[in-house]
């Protein structure tokens, strides 16, 4: 039996190029989000994309994993700032998510930059979203102690 399941739904109307969709999440944690193919491949214009949602999930999951790692191995962080950039590209004529750049900076008492970077890398290895993407997406981690 799984620990948790989460649900999202989209209603898409029209074709890929001129159509669009409205994404909802069962939790109600955020409002309905509009989505179009143009928002995915050209300009956002106030709409989201699967890549933006994956980046949001990865940044959030990594922040949780790193926060926990720091608490277990050093001291709880005062603050972590995590940014994730998910890159969509054409590979052999098809769309593919190719890279995820995770950038983290933080304030943590009692450790130096080398230890911060070491624990940042270990947290990336334990992050569930990283592990879902691993071996398919190039995950690049950039860590800096403030």
CA distances from 3 to 6, 28, 58, 75 (A): 10, 20, 19, 28
Q: What is residue 59's predicted lDDT score, i.e. its pLDDT?
A: 98
Residue at token pair 């230890």: 115
CB-based contact 106:63 (threshold 8 Å): no
Whether 72 and 126 share a structural domain:
yes
1 part of a folded domain: no
pLDDT band at 73 (very low <50, low <70, confident <90, very high): very high
Which residue range is the domain that position 37 belongs to?
A: 8-41
* pLDDT, mean of residues 84-91: 97
Residue 74 has pLDDT above 90, yes or no: no
Whether 59 and 130 share a structural domain:
yes
Residues of the chain above pLDDT 90, percent: 99
pLDDT band at 96 (very low <50, low <70, confident <90, very high): very high
Q: pLDDT tens across 39-54, in order?
A: 999 999 999 999 999 9
76 part of a folded domain: yes
Whether 16 and 74 share a structural domain:
no
Strands 94-107 and 138-145: parallel
């Amino acid at each position: 039996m799984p620990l948790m399941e989460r649900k999202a739904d989209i209603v898409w109307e029209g074709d890929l190029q001129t159509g669009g969709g409205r994404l909802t999440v069962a939790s109600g944690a955020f409002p309905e989000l509009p989505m179009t193919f143009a928002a995915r491949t050209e300009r956002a214009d106030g709409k989201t994309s699967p890549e933006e949602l994956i980046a949001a999930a990865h940044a959030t999951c990594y922040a949780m994993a790193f926060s926990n790692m720091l608490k277990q191995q050093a001291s709880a962080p005062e603050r972590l700032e995590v940014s994730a950039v998910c890159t969509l590209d054409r590979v052999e004529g098809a769309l593919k998510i190719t890279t995820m750049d995770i950038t983290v900076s933080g304030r943590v008492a009692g450790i130096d930059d080398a230890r911060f970077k070491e624990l940042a890398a270990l947290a990336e290895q334990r992050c569930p979203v990283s592990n879902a993407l691993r071996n398919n997406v190039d995950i690049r981690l950039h860590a800096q102690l403030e």
